Structure 1
């Protein structure tokens, strides 16, 4: 018997979609199966419905903090995903660079250097897609 989604899950899904975009969330949902469905629910409720839904930080501020933390931890795929999400959060390229400069000082130059390479690659993809126009 399937339970109705909790209010926290519903709030998390709204924020997750606002930050990552419908296409990303829909793809994650389609790829989810019985094995990782509990994990998808957990991150939707925990990360998105509990933390990202809090009112004190804006999505822009949370985006900047998240990118810095992921870069410091060497979570490359997640860095790229959250750099892409800045298109939805309002965090600028300058914001991302400033966050990564902090990473260099507090978590190490190699972590920041690698994250900067990732961000540059993501921005190059974004710029190329913008030049090509609508698909």
Structure 2
């Protein structure tokens, strides 16, 4: 009797490859159906693992590992939408700009930002940061 793992082994495809492809298809289907409100991914950086989260409006959150990525995702689900999926490709531009920044090749960022979580003074500061040179 053939089991799924036997079939995967016979096709010389690793579980991680299958999982990656299934995740990619799920993410695309959710986005196409309008069911993906917050996309996220993690990236390694000189300051540790960073969680990047974005909405259709733009980058909404960057979180350090010390904040607890699961806790940050829970807060995003509560404050924005529970329709959150790991969707690395949707944050490729953000990840690329961060890599360039950490390599010293970038001093400013071009990705759009979603300020909906920023309130009061913090929001004022964030909206005026691009004006500082």
Quick check: TM above 0.5?
Answer: no
Q: Greater share of strand residues, 1 or 2? A: 2
Q: Greater share of helix residues, 1 or 2? A: 1
TM-score, normalised via structure 2 length: 0.31
TM-score, normalised via structure 1 length: 0.31
Rg bigger for which structure?
2
